Amino acid sequence: MASSTIMWLDEENNAAEFEPVGTHPHYRRRGLTRAMLLHGMHRARAAGATHATVACLGTPGHPRARELYYGLGFRELSRDAPLVKAAIAG
């Protein structure tokens, strides 16, 4: 598989969410993810969605993903804060 995403359609809130989104490293920078997202957004609009979100690793280690999403018109909405708990010694 070269690239994949799942689009979740929330008909109650007229929203679509793309998550997860990914492309195999050997197939990146070929427009596959962009094409998938554009196709999904067109399908979502046809189904009544008025906005879309994408779950993105917003860390500095993933600038190309963020650039892709910004280039498609997405903007930052929020950032998740990872929660970590140390293992409890048994």
| Threshold 0.85, pTM exceeds | no
Residue 82: asked if its preceding bond is cis (omega within 30°), the reply is: no
Instruction: Return the CATH fold of 3-71.
Output: Aminopeptidase (3.40.630)
CA 45 to CA 2: how far, in whole Å? 25
pLDDT in tens, the chain (90 residues): 999 999 999 999 999 999 999 999 999 999 999 999 999 999 999 999 999 999 886 566 778 888 999 999 999 887 777 777 888 876
Domain boundaries, the chain: 3-71
